[in-house]
Amino acid sequence: MYSTYTYACTCTHIQERIRVINRTLPFAAMASSSSVSRAGVLSLEQGTKINPDLQKERDTGTFNPLDLTYEIDGGKDITERRQYIESLAFNDPDFQCKDVAFMTREESYTNSIRIATLCVKKLKELDINDITEAMWYRSAASFGNLPSMTLHESMFMHSVLSQATEEQQVEWLTKAQDHTILGTYAQTELGHGTFVRGLETTATYDPSTEEFVMHSPTLTSIKWWPGNLGKSVTHAVVAAQLYTKGKCYGIHMFMVPLRSLEDHTPLPGIELGDIGPKLGYANIDNGFLRFTHFRIPRENMFMKYSRVEPDGTYVAPPVEKLSYGSMVLIRSLIVGGMGHCLAKGSTIATRYSAVRHQSELVAGGGEPQVLDYQSQQLKLFPYIASAYAFLFAGKHMQEMFADSVNQVSAGNFNVLPELHATAAGLKAFTSNVAIPGIEQLRMACGGHGYSAASGFPLLYGNETPACTYEGENTVMLLQTARFLMKCVRQLKAGTTFKGIMAYLADHPQQRCMAQSEDDFLNAKTLLDAYRHRAQRIVFQAATNLDKAEKSGLEQAVAWNQQHLYLIRAANAHCHLAVVEIFLSALQRSEAPEAIKKVLMTMFQMYAIHGLSEYRGEFLQDGYLTGQQLDAIDRILIRLLKEIRPNAVTLVDAFDIDDNNLASVMGRYDGNVYENMYKWAKSAPMNDKEVKDAYHLYIGPFLKENRAKSKL
C-alpha cells in the first residue's frame, strides 16, 4: 500500500492495470515461496516468533487473507507480481538506511533523491517498464516515505501525454522517459490555489520573436508548493494566463526550462528555492518559482487542443478546461489513495489493539486485549470498512477516468462534466473521512500513538495535504454541488440519467419499510436509504437556491448564501456513490464465498455506520423512525461482534509489508514492546550518555544553584 501520489500514473497505464497481469516472468517460485505472504512476512527475519496474541487472532480468522488480497489487487497474478517486485527493493542493500524519523531534513531530502535516482537505474536493469510496477518498486524502496520525483512520473509526464501534440511529445516525453530532464507541475501560487482562473502568472506572446514572455507580475503570483521544484527539477509544466494581441485567453500550459543542464543553476530571469519545513514531506523540496520576463519559444505552449499561430492568432480548444486533465487524474487517484491511507492506519491500530492489554473487565480476571472493548471496536472497525469502500471506489474512478480518456480521444467531450464532478466530490469526501480517521486511529493507540515509532506522525503528515492539494475540499464539494444543481435543471427539462446519477429520477418510498434488524442488513434496503437521502437533500438544495435567486439576489450572492445546503447535497451524493460502487463491486465479484461473505459484512458495516452517524438526515423527513434508529444501533453492535474474530485478518489482507508500514507498533510479528525499546535506544539523542547541553548549560546551572544553597 502506498501514499496517495504513488497512484499517480498515466491514463494509458491505468487501462493496462485494470486487466489482470498474465506474464511469464520468473517470479512464480518467489511468489509461491511466500504463499503465506500477508503483510510483513517478506521482511520477517528467519525464526522470528509471532506474538501469541496476534497468532491467536490469525488462527480464529474465518477466511484466507490472501484470497481477499487478490480481490483488492484485481487477481492472484497481480498480487504475486506486486509482492515479487516489492521483494526486489526490500532485499536490496542499496536502499537500506536509518529510520527517517532520525534524519535531519537535509539528510531526508538527500537520501530520497539518492533512492529516486537508484530506482531509475535499477528499474532499467530489471527491465521493469510498466509505470504501475515501477511505482510499486519505488514505494517499496522508499520504506514508507513518499517516493521522490513522483510528480515527474505522474503529472509532468501525463501533462505532456494529454496536452502536447505528437511532435511535442517526441521532443519532451522522450527526454522525460530517458530522465535527461526532470520535471514538475507548477500551478499553485502564493496567492491562489484552488481558484485556477485567478492565477496571476502571465505568458504574453511576442509575435516579433515568436516567443512567450513568462512573468510573475505580483508577489502573490509566485508559484508556490510544486514538489521537487525547490532544488531538484530542470523543467516544469507551468499554468499561466495566456495573452496574445492584447487579450487574455485564460489558463494554458507551457513547458518551461528552469535550470541549466550543465550546472543546475537557475536560468536568467528565474528565481527558485525551497519553501521551508512543512507538517510532512520532509524529504520533498516543495518550492517557489518567480519569473522575470523569461522567454520561451512559441512551440513550448502545449498545443494539442488550442494553439497560438506565429502571427499571434489564438485558436480555441473544442471544449474548455481540457487542460485540467492532470488535475482530474490526481483527484481521481486520491480516492483510492485515501483507502490505502486508512488501510495503513487501521492495520497499525488493529494489530496494536490485539497486542495491548489494559485494565480489567472483571475484577481479578486479568487485563483483556484492548481489542475486546466495544468502544475500541467502534473506533477501529468502521475505518477498516471505509478503507475497503474507498479502495473499491478508487478502482471505479480509475476505470471511469480511463473510459473518459477513450471517449475524449473519440471526440466525445460530454463525459467530462460528470468525471470532473465525481472526481472532485469523491476526492473531498474520502479525504474528509480518511484524514480525521488517521487521527482517531492514532488516539486509539493511546499515548504510544504519539511516538514516531507508531508510524502515525509520518502517515498523517504525508497524507493530510490531500484535503487541500488538487483543490481545497470545500471548494471541491461546491463544484460537485454545481454539477448536481445543473442535473436537477436538466431533469426538469426531460433529460434522463444513467449510472449513479439515475437516483435523481427515482420515485423512492417516503418511508423505510424495514421491520426487523435483518431487513436492515439487506443491501437493497441500505441502498434505497442512501438514494432517498441524497435525492431529498439535492432537491432541497436546488429548491432553496431557486428561491434565493427568484428573491432578486444576484446568482453569485444567492449561491454563496446556500453553501450549507449545497455542501450537504454534495456529501450526500458522494456518500451514496461510495455505497453504490462498493455494492456493485461485491455483486460483480467472482471471489470465493468466504471472501464475498466478509466483504458483505464490510459493506454492511460501512452502510450501517453511515446511517447511525448521519441519523439526523435520515430522521429529518421521517424516512427512518426513532425505533428504526434504535434497531440500527443494535445492528451496529451485532456487526462489531461479527467482525471481531476477523479484525486482524481483515487488516492483514491489505498486505502492507512492515517495510512499507513503517511502524514499530503495527509490525506483523506483534513484538511491539521489545522493538520500541530497541528503536528508542537507537535514537541519535542516545549516541552518548552525557550530552553537550549538560556541559554547556545544565552542569553550570546546577553548580551555580548548589553553591547558592550553601550560603
Alpha-carbon separation of residue 591 from 64, 70, 391, 493, 594 (angstroms): 12, 9, 16, 43, 8
Cβ atoms of 426 and 393 closer than 8 Å: yes
To which H or E segment does residue 641 belong? Answer: helix 626-643
Question: Which grid coordinates belong to 530?
Answer: 442512501
Cβ atoms of 466 and 431 closer than 8 Å: yes
Cβ atoms of 429 and 574 closer than 8 Å: yes
Q: Tell me: is residue 188 an annotated ligand-binding position.
A: yes
Amino acid identity at 44:
L
| CB atoms near residue 667 (< 10 Å) | 27
Closest listed residue to residue 323, CA positions, set 236, 238, 395, 220? 238
To which H or E segment does residue 483 belong? Answer: helix 473-492
Closest listed residue to residue 207, CA positions, set 243, 261, 258? 243
Q: Catalytic: which of 57, 153, 211, 470?
A: 470
To which H or E segment does residue 329 belong? Answer: helix 325-355
Q: Which residues pair with 224 in a beta bridge?
A: 288
Q: Tell me: is residue 227 an annotated ligand-binding position.
A: yes
Q: List, in sequence order, every beta strand (DSSP E) within 312-437.
A: 314-315
Half-sphere exposure of 254 (CA within 13 A, CB side): 31
DSSP class of residue 152 equals: I
Q: Which residues pair with 369 in a beta bridge?
A: 357
Alpha-carbon separation of residue 663 from 45, 489, 654 (angstroms): 16, 50, 15
Active site residue 470: yes
Alpha-carbon separation of residue 446 from 62, 436, 658 (angstroms): 29, 16, 21
Q: Binding site, residues?
A: 188, 227
Residues recognised as catalytic: 470
Q: Binding site for FAD, residues?
A: 188, 227
